[in-house]
Structure 1
Amino acid sequence: ISSKMEATNALIGGESSGGLTIRGHILGKDGIFAASLLIELLSVTGKNLSELLAEINQRFGYYYMVEKNLHFTLEDRSRLVKKIFANKELPDFGYDIHHVNYQDGVK
């Protein structure tokens, strides 16, 4: 998160696991900090989480990521590793894939 934030001069950065940081805070993700910011936001605005989410969706549109755990045999894993990492080919898993990130694995 921190390297991309620095490269783009981002104010806030986070990931699907709940880790988040803001410019001026520690460079690593911090789930407790993220939860604290959310609690403060709820307190300051007097709104509940559903109301805040509705406002965000109205202003910026809906966005979501789907994460799936797929299970394979050891034999299939070997073929998939070669195909995905070496050849940069994606098998047809039956899902539309819009983006692949090869940093720190495959996402």
Structure 2
Amino acid sequence: MSRTITAFPAPRLHLLARIAAAILGGYGFTWGFIAAGASLMFAAGMGFHDAEFLASLLGVLAFVAVFLWTFAARRLWVVWAVLAGGGALLAATGSFVQSLLV
């Protein structure tokens, strides 16, 4: 009988890591998504409150999609890399566009 070695020795720790990625990583990614979306839509000529509202609505959909993808993905390190890297890149984009507008 062979024993397979996994990245997480305990299934509960693996589940806890997925839950943390879904909630914390999803929040960070969504925050960056909303910041980038609102600033880009405002820069394109949309009213500020309209851009903010639309970006927030799309952010809810993005959070749900990222949350579900976190549990469907095969490799947890890929999930963290996409969420942390993508969230940071989106937040930096939003900040850069906002600095150009001011």
Same fold, TM-score > 0.5, yes or no: no
TM-score by length of 2: 0.28
| Larger gyration radius, structure 1 or structure 2 | 1
